[in-house]
Chain A
Amino acid sequence: MKKTLLSVGLITLATAAFAEEKPVLTIYAPDYFTSEWGPGPKIEAAFEETCACDVSYVAGDVLPRLLLEGERTKADVVIGLNTDVTKRARETGLFLPHGQDTSDMTLPIEWTDDVFLPFNWGHTAFIYNTEKMGNAPTTFDAFLADEDTKVVLQDPRSSISGLALMLWVKSVYGDDSQEAFNKLARKTLTVTKGWSESYGMFTDGEADMVLSYTTSPAYHIIAEDDETKRAAIFEEGHYFMTELAAQVKTSTQPELAQAFMDFVLSETFQTMIPTANWSFPAKLDADKLPDGFKKLDMPEKALFYSENEAADLRDAALEEWLSAFSQ
């Protein structure tokens, strides 16, 4: 018995020592990203094959955590930030340039940010069920005019997609946004805290349309072989959304962090994005996408505010939103 205990102890020590030899790359990421159904585990395995290191995810609210920790943060890399928080994140001065060539990415907009590196993208869109709605609206105007078709939204104060919708309306309607919000409020069944509740209400048949992403139908096409869920495409354009990665200045593993940033735009990483993240990869030729993605309805035009423009618009737009929805 003693011997067994001793050998168990020795093995544990040995493994610990062995593990210590490998440097650890700490990546902060959102819960969905690191979960077994997100892209995190695959990306971890692929990177560990090449880096002779151990990837360790820390899951949760990425930016609040970074803001609280400041320079004491243990993060080497953060992934899964949204464009609506980059201004705040940049102001911390915690990040280094990513050092990647962003000129040949496959984004619908030009990307020149040298700190935050997109790894996926999509647009906001309203998803509908073709079995219940024959003719989906083709313009935002037509969509707003039809008060009988009920839509479920997310609150901009608690959800990133909700915030993107607010900016979408602002970018389509400009100074007339209050009127547009009022019309939107009239056709809104309800507003939920997060995306999951909304999407659940849509798949349950409670709402006719749901605020989601242009890439959402890809899940139904590929995983469920169901082509009845489609995005209504508006001529005015759709709001561009992307998730970003960045390396942290205070990292104790700068080479590894840089190696990971180099890995983000690699084909290995990018081919994992479509079916694990259900969004478009930031740098992958269209012919390398899974077939399901080729069936997606896509807008001609992508709308997008820079972080400074968005920051200037945000509070006033929220006031308009609240006044429209509080009537």
Chain B
Amino acid sequence: MAERVQPISLSNLGGAAVVALLLVLTLGTLGAVAWRAEELSALTKNDWSAVRFTLWQAAVSAVLSAVCAIPVARALARRQFRGRALLLTVLGAPFILPVVVAVLGLLAVYGRSGIISETLNWAGLEPISIYGWHGVILAHVFFNLPLATRLILQGWLAIPAERFRLAQSLGFTSRDMARHLEWPMLREVLPGVVMVIFLICTTSFAVALALGGGPKATTIELAIYQAFRFDFDLSKAALLGLVQFVICVGLALASFAISVPSGQGAGLDRVVYRNDGSRVLDGIAIGVVALFLITPLAMIVAKGLPGLPELSVNILSAAWRSVWVAVLSAGLTVVMALSLALLSLKWGRGVEAVGYLSVAASPLVIGTGLFILTYRWVDPVLLALPVTVVVNAAMSLPFTLRAVSPALRQVEADYGRLAASLGLTGWARLRIVVLPRLRRPLGFGAGLAAALSMGDLGVITLFADPNHATLPLALYNLMTAYRMQEAFAAALVLLALSLALFWLFDRGGRVNADL
């Protein structure tokens, strides 16, 4: 018995430490900002309209991304084809691009002088206009559809192959399979996917502003930015930050309530071979999405190529620094996700909810709060890279957690009793039962975390170290110095490195998996 207690309490301790760290990073920084505020402010009419716009566009973007992702994920789960692995990697790309780059990439396709409008002009038709609410949603779907696809695909691949084989031998049609196998899985996975994307969209602001056609597309995050930069009103910033948290917590609870465990039962970890469904429809789903995602990316690549030879050595060292930051934060994210997921098995899902807090946290609030908490004791310049690692890890935790947590609960439901009856506990259980089954979501989560961290400017506004800039910061500095061509080349380097990291981690999770 004693053997059993020790490792578990150790993992409890780890989980509790992660919970504490996250609470400090999110609510703690918010508290610090509020504490430094001089007087109380109230929300104005404009702030409330920002709240309404934020909720509305986030809801539409999230539902649309998730719904469109279902046929794509199903097609990817059912079909094997050349280039599938490559497509799965490229699916990670839009999500990690720096905002400026992604916006210019989208405009190269959908803008006034983009491919589509130019073609329409040539054919004598009216050009399209991307600016407006539809532009915001288009951009958010561009960013999040791939994420949704990958998360839902994880769910598909988690259905044991034996279920499909049984279904096939029973002569199930594609519709039967959808009803008995796929729908229960979707009911479990979809609410979480919608929630995560909703939360990402609530904190976006540069995209919403640029493609929304201006101030009518004001989000809460822009209002926070305004409170900091325009008014230097810390109490307003803290108040708006709090509104963002309330939305986040409410949504997390709702999604937990809607999500229903699918009860698929355990399998033998075999590879699924399926042949049901229409090849043509699946082909169309994959083709349309690939076109939608790859065209803007191709434009970014095309813009970046000419400037590559001009890149200075400093860009390469910035890139190297970013890679390290990314690898470290990916490692940290995985450890945090696993600890939280394990702890939530024992202490309930409230623990898991803490893991989602960071996505609703404003980077500005986190950065300023951390600065207030630390500057008296430590030189912020020394903290620049460590803070970037920790904050990036916390920021990508929700996505990793989204991938890991359902998988872990499944493993516990399927093998928990067997493992217990064999007396398999603690690290041994983790090593023999849990980790091999979590390899895929863990690899995916780490890859996502690394790629996200590469592209993130994080909280550098107050913690920047001018001699150790990361790649995204160097990219912005290039743009400010009018060097657009070099900036695009730097963006291409960033894209390539992020994808390489994503591929390495994700591949690591799929070794021997043949999927």
Contacts and interface: CB of A to CB of B under 8 A. Distances in A.
Contacts of B460: 60
Contacts of A60: 460-464
Contacts of B512: none
Contacts of B482: 199, 216, 219-220, 223, 278
B295 interface: no
A322 to B, nearest CB: 5
Interface string A183-215: 001001111111111011101111100000000
Contacts of A69: 375
Contacts of B99: 197
A17 B483 CA distance: 40
A68 B35 CA distance: 12
B229 interface: yes
Interface in A149-166: 150, 153, 155-158, 163
Contacts of B376: 72
B228 A64 contact: yes
B209 A155 contact: yes
Interface string A78-122: 000000000010000000000000000000000000000000000
Nearest to A37: B481
Most chain A Cβ neighbours within 10 Å, of B228, B481, B484: B481
Contacts of B104: 197, 200-201, 204
B466 A40 contact: yes
A135 to B, nearest CB: 21
A59 interface: yes
Contacts of A34: 466
Contacts of B12: none
Contact of A192 (B36, B210, B314, B371): B210
Interface residues of B, number: 61
B415 interface: no
Contacts of B312: 36
A37 B230 contact: no
Contacts of A278: 481-482
A58 B381 CA distance: 7
Contact of A157 (B111, B225, B473): B225
Contacts of B480: 31-32, 35, 37-38, 195-196
Contacts of B107: 201, 204, 206
B108 interface: yes
B465 A64 contact: no
Contacts of A318: 230
A199 B462 contact: no
A197 B314 contact: no
B229 A157 contact: yes
Contact of B209 (A36, A188, A191, A200): A191
Counting contact residues on chain A (CB < 8 A from B), the size range is: 35 or more
Nearest to A40: B466
Contacts of B473: 31
B371 A65 contact: yes
B214 interface: yes
A326 B49 CA distance: 10
A133 interface: no
Interface in A288-327: 318, 321-322, 325-327
Interface string B347-386: 0000000000000000000001001100110011100000
B215 A65 contact: no
Nearest to A185: B214
Contact of B462 (A64, A189, A223, A325): A64
Contacts of A269: none
B434 interface: no
Contacts of B111: 201, 204, 206
B131 A31 contact: no
A67 interface: yes
A114 to B, nearest CB: 24
A126 interface: no
A200 B206 contact: no
A206 B110 CA distance: 10
Contacts, number: 164
Nearest to B49: A326
Interface in B198-217: 205-206, 209-216
B232 A192 contact: no
Nearest to A63: B232
A57 interface: yes
A37 B209 contact: no
A61 interface: yes
Given A58-B381, A204-B104, A322-B46, A38 B477 contact: yes
Interface string A18-42: 0000000000000110111110100
A326 B113 contact: no
Nearest to A32: B480
B136 to A, nearest CB: 11
Interface string A124-163: 0000000000000000000000000010010111100001
B304 to A, nearest CB: 13
A190 B481 contact: no
A199 to B, nearest CB: 7
A68 B209 contact: no
A153 B131 CA distance: 14
B481 A32 contact: yes
A203 B486 CA distance: 13
Contact of A158 (B216, B226, B371, B462): B226
Interface in B15-54: 36, 46, 49
Given A68-B371, A197-B100, A59 B465 contact: yes
Contact of B216 (A64, A88, A326): A326
A200 B371 contact: no
B229 A158 contact: yes
A216 B482 CA distance: 9
Nearest to B209: A193
B215 A322 contact: yes
A35 B466 contact: yes
B469 interface: yes
Given A68-B372, A157-B222, A197-B100, A38 B211 contact: no
A192 B207 CA distance: 8
Contacts of A67: 232
A156 B466 CA distance: 26
Top 8 nearest A-B pairs (CB, nearest first) are A37-B481, A35-B477, A196-B479, A191-B214, A34-B466, A157-B226, A32-B480, A59-B466
Given A31-B480, A88-B232, 16 more contacts: A31-B477, A35-B478, A40-B466, A59-B465, A59-B466, A63-B232, A65-B462, A68-B371, A150-B112, A189-B112, A189-B131, A189-B213, A193-B225, A196-B100, A219-B482, A321-B215
18 contacts: A31-B466, A31-B473, A35-B469, A35-B480, A38-B477, A61-B461, A88-B232, A155-B209, A158-B222, A190-B210, A191-B213, A191-B214, A193-B222, A204-B111, A206-B107, A206-B111, A207-B112, A325-B216
Interface of A: 31-32, 34-38, 40, 57-61, 63-65, 67-69, 72, 74, 88, 150, 153, 155-158, 163, 185, 188-197, 199-201, 203-207, 216, 219-220, 223, 278, 318, 321-322, 325-327
Interface of B: 36, 46, 49, 99-100, 103-104, 107-108, 111-114, 131, 205-206, 209-216, 222, 225-226, 228-230, 232, 312, 314, 368, 371-372, 375-376, 379-381, 460-466, 469, 473-474, 476-484, 487
